[in-house]
Structure 1
Amino acid sequence: MVEARIRVIYGDTDQMGVVYHANYFRYFELSRIEYLHARGASYRDLEREGLALPVVEATASYKSPARYEDMLLVRPRVSEVKRVSLTFTYDIFREGGPDTPLCTGRTVHACVSREGKPTRLPEALVRLLHEAP
């Protein structure tokens, strides 16, 4: 299982002292990067091949607030791989807290060429996405 650790900084919080809702999407992104690196790949590798994986859909469900200096654990996983898209799902926990997520989310990514045209996911990437880290 891949797990990204993130310490909440003051700039991530709002006036109420909780993590601003949009920052969870940054946490999702960081965990996706860690997921790929754990499998020996990177977004940069895809870019060198002339491909990109833009987010085409993103959702988050907030269960309980994270606060300044909390250490968060983000657990990404690939939940679906199609011909030209893939879906990541995420669970965010407070380190040392109960094993119930503070936030859950999902991002859908299209595989596109430099010109922005949908293209088939590379077979090597599909294999890497399913390997255990």
Structure 2
Amino acid sequence: MVEARLRVIYGDTDQMGVVYHANYFRYFELSRIEYLHSRGGSYRELERDGLMLPIVEATAAYKSPARYEDVLLIRPRVSEVKRVSLAFTYEVFREGGPDTPLCTGRTVHACVNREGKPSRLPDAIVRLLQATP
């Protein structure tokens, strides 16, 4: 299982002292990067090959607030791989807290070339995404 870990900084919180809702999407991105690195890949390499994975859909469900200085564990998982798209799901936990997520989410990514045209996911990337770390 891949897990990204981060400590909530003050700038990530809102006036109520909880993590601002949009910051969870940054946390999801961090965990996607860790997911690829854990398998020996990177977004940089993908872009060097002329491909990009823009988000075409994003959702989050907020269950319980995270607060300043909480240590969060973000667990990404590839939930779907198609010819020209893929999806990740996420669970965010508080380190040392109960094993119930504070937030869950999903992002769907299209595979496009430099001109923004849909492009088939290379077999090597599909294998990398589905590999066991």
Tell me if TM exceeds 0.5. Answer: yes
Show structure 2 runs of 5+ residues with no match: none
Provide the TM-score with structure 2 as the length reference.
1.00
What does 1:1-133 align with in structure 2 at a 5 Å threshold?
Answer: 1-133=1-133
| Identity rate, percent | 85
SS at match of 1:17: coil
Amino acid at match of 2:130: H
Amino acid at match of 2:35: Y
Q: RMSD in angstroms over aligned alpha carbons?
A: 0.3
Provide the TM-score with structure 1 as the length reference.
1.00
| 1:6-57 C-alpha deviation (Å, 9 max, x unpaired) | 1000000000000000000000000000000000000000001000000000
Which 4+ runs in 1 deviate beyond 4 A? none
The CA deviation at 1:81 is 0.2
